[in-house]
Amino acid sequence: MPERGKRKRIVLISLLVFVCLALTTVLVLAKYANVIAKNGIEKALGKDFSIGNIELKWGSVEVSGVVMKNRAGKEVIKAEGLMVKANFMSLLRKKYIISTVLVKKPYMYVEVDEKGRLVSPVFPTDDKKTGKENKKGEEKKVDTSTETPIVLKKIVVSNGSVDYLDRKSPRPPVLTSVRDINLEMSDLTIPFADNFTRYVVNASVPASRSTATVKSDGKIRLKNKDIECKASVRGLDITHFKPYFHTSDSASVARGLLDLDISAKVVSNKINAPGKAVIKGLEFSSGQGLGSKFMGVPVSLVVSFLKKSGDQIPVDFVIAGDLDNPRFNLTEDFKRKLAFGIAEKLGFSVMDLGKSVFGVGAEGTKKTGEGVMGIGDGLKKIFGK
């Protein structure tokens, strides 16, 4: 056989061998891709994370049985299913576009301690990405300007649940469950960009005497935390939240529901949130003393008002303050405004609320009221209202 023919034959055989090896490799990778990806993801996330199954398809990834446990072995995050659909052509535009993220039946356990610090869930950190603390205790800033942005066009959460244990504000601690969470978000960019991410969420809050419905929609600029949103709550069982407002001279609330409508706007970490609350079906346990009060107002006055008002107490309020101010607390401010509103509606002097609600005397209450009014006037100038 001529030398030239032998070379062609060798090249052809070599090419066939290479193609066979390539096909075999592809088939093996296709067969074990799920296992390889599953093990790789679990290794990257850490020993506290586990994944039941993962399926790689063209343009999408489906994961099931996602679980994260804390050090005590308690499941703090889990999801029945997670599906991600990507647009590969976006790589040509130097960005990753995720067209859809669908999370099925997620659950999260959230806990804050007595100082308001988040103790659950605790995520593993990467010092290379988050920056190690220097000798002075200051965290090094990480330059994210060169990172390829990830754009999540649509995020859907279906039938989610959250358990929130608050050990800071109330005594005793309050565990609040949120169920039937259905959330849809659009246009979320990571790292956070200077654009608004829109959202719509519906949920329920079950308690012993009622299951409340919660609805909210709006937009948030995650880069600087500016927010514009509306929220409504219907049928919230206030007996579940007694530790937030109960004091030594408070009457024991046996029943009561709260409806709430609020429009909030946050600009430069300053909040202005006018709203309306309606307390309905309020009942007190028998045997209340003459000095018993509800939100600082004598129970006798509250009961008398309910009889002639259709069993309702409507209250208008405005939450306003600087979220950067360590002295400003949203929960406390809402409680103060609600107490002021109830006292005003029932014709009870705000000065007589005393320390039963605010923990100060009459003079201090006056100063508190003046301070709140001052903040409100300042915010009116900021927001042009």
The percent of the chain in helix, strand and coil, each rounded to the nearest 5, is 30, 45, 25
Residue 176 bridge partners (DSSP): 164
Q: Read out DSSP for 277-346? A: EEEEEEEE-SS--TT-EETTEEHHHHHHHHHHTTSEEEEEEEEEEETT-TT--HHHHHHHHHHHHHHHHT
Distances in whole angstroms, Cα of residue 118 to Cα of each of 111, 121, 372: 6, 7, 28
**C-alpha dihedral (26, 29, 32, 38), degrees to nearest 10:** -140
> In a structure prediction context, what are the per-residue pLDDT tens digits for the chain, which is 385 residues long?
565 555 556 555 555 555 454 444 444 444 545 554 555 555 555 667 788 888 877 778 888 888 888 888 889 889 999 888 887 665 556 678 888 989 999 999 999 899 888 888 876 655 544 444 444 445 455 555 556 788 889 999 999 999 999 998 777 899 999 999 999 999 988 888 888 999 999 999 999 889 999 999 999 998 888 999 999 999 999 999 988 888 777 888 999 999 999 999 999 999 999 999 999 999 988 765 556 888 888 888 898 899 888 999 999 999 999 999 988 888 888 888 888 888 888 888 766 655 444 443 334 334 334 433 333 343 333 333 3
Distances in whole angstroms, Cα of residue 162 to Cα of each of 106, 180, 246, 258: 8, 9, 25, 21
- pLDDT one-digit tens code per residue, 256-303: 999 999 999 999 999 999 999 999 999 988 765 556 888 888 888 898
Determine contact, residues 302/311, Cβ cutoff 8 Å: no
In this prediction the pTM is: 0.76
- Distance between CA atoms of residues 364 and 350, nearest Å: 11
